[in-house]
């Protein structure tokens, strides 16, 4: 299947661009489709780019007819949880209506292999840890709900229209390409590792921790950090799985190892050798105290096993932010 074209929708963004790198390394031809509202033209390095919006059916039809991809990888979503509470309409318009438009275009083009970037936010507050794919899905914010709605739509498209999909529920994506060619670059930045690294670099005044009185080993929240290149590898494996005729499936992508916020900050200080101010403030509404993946199913279905640990995540992120990302 090497040599096949794969349309990477949202391929100029953080995870999409790393997946394009992995696709190219494995012999595929990634074609980026992006409106560049959050993605970066500088990140399109491993194949052609087509500018367009997933809500624009005519443009999607044009690009699919031109490139004739064997599969579609869909990363083009609004992702900031806090913003979804302030402006749910934009999230429904892009994440739900946009995805349904993309699915209609895919069907019209005869494409029945679709990999969807989803999230552990579809689970809502955890009833048990680690979370497996059978955990109930009760999202607690508009972002999580828009992803859950698409997951439900994909199940119906599979059952009634024969469009097969792999739904990948991420935990906390982190890290960067080890050569520093691409990395995490959000505007504004809301993710813990880049915010803490910026504090260590003196680009911001310290780091705020939301809550220090949770029932965890040190009182701070526990999260499962997964290297972006491990995520990229899972996406390429998902494409291969579908092209070989695999059935629709939903899979968690995490390491199965939880790290507290205090432990994360300590690891960043160790890598950077630069202490920085940390302020502990009150809990943030909607935060779960522990989110850790059970990733057994991804291993069983895709043969996927994460390769990188927390120190490699932080080292690669530090390299990117310190040397490459001056924006």
In angstroms, what CA-CA distances link 180 with 9, 121, 183, 228, 317? Answer: 23, 29, 7, 13, 8
Q: How buried is residue 202: exposed, middle or buried, by Cβ count under 10 Å (0-12/13-18/19+)?
A: exposed
Question: Is residue 13 helix, strand or coil?
Answer: coil
Q: Is 214 a catalytic residue?
A: no
3-state DSSP percent of the chain in helix, strand and coil, to 5: 40, 20, 40
Nearest to 146 by CA among 101, 103, 91: 91
Q: Are 114 and 161 in contact (CB under 8 A)?
A: no
Catalytic residue among 143, 148, 157, 214: 143
- How far apart CA 302 and CA 235 sit, in angstroms, is 10
Nearest to 157 by CA among 105, 88, 92: 105
Q: What is the set of active-site residues?
A: 143
């Amino acid at each position: 299947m090497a040599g096949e074209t794969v349309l990477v929708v949202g391929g100029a963004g953080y995870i999409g661009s790393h997946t394009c790198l992995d696709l190219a390394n494995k012999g595929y031809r990634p074609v980026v489709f992006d409106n560049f509202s959050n993605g970066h033209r500088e990140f399109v390095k491993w194949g052609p780019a087509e500018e367009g919006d997933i809500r624009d059916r005519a443009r999607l039809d044009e690009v699919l007819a031109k490139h004739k991809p064997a599969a579609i990888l869909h990363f083009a979503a609004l992702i900031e949880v806090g913003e979804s509470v302030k402006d749910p309409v934009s999230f429904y318009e892009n994440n739900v209506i946009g995805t349904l438009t993309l699915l209609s275009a895919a069907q019209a083009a005869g494409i029945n292999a679709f990999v969807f970037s989803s999230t552990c936010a579809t689970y809502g507050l955890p009833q048990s840890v680690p979370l497996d794919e059978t955990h109930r899905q009760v999202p607690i914010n508009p972002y999580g709900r828009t992803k859950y709605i698409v997951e439900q739509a994909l199940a119906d498209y599979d059952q009634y229209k024969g469009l097969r999909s792999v739904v990948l529920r991420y935990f906390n994506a982190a890290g960067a390409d080890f050569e520093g060619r691409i990395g995490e670059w959000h505007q504004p930045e809301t993710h813990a590792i880049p915010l803490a690294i910026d504090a260590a670099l003196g680009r911001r005044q310290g780091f705020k921790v939301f809550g220090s009185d949770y029932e965890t080993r040190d009182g701070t929240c526990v999260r499962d950090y997964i290297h972006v290149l491990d995520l990229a590898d899972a996406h390429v494996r998902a494409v291969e799985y579908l092209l070989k005729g695999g059935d629709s499936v939903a899979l968690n992508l995490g390491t199965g190892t939880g790290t507290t916020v205090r432990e994360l900050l300590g690891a960043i200080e160790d890598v950077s050798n630069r202490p920085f101010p940390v302020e502990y403030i009150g809990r943030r509404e909607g935060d779960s105290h522990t989110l850790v993946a059970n990733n057994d199913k991804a291993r069983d279905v895709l043969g996927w096993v994460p390769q990188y640990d927390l120190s490699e995540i932080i080292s690669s992120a530090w390299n990117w932010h310190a040397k490459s990302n001056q924006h």
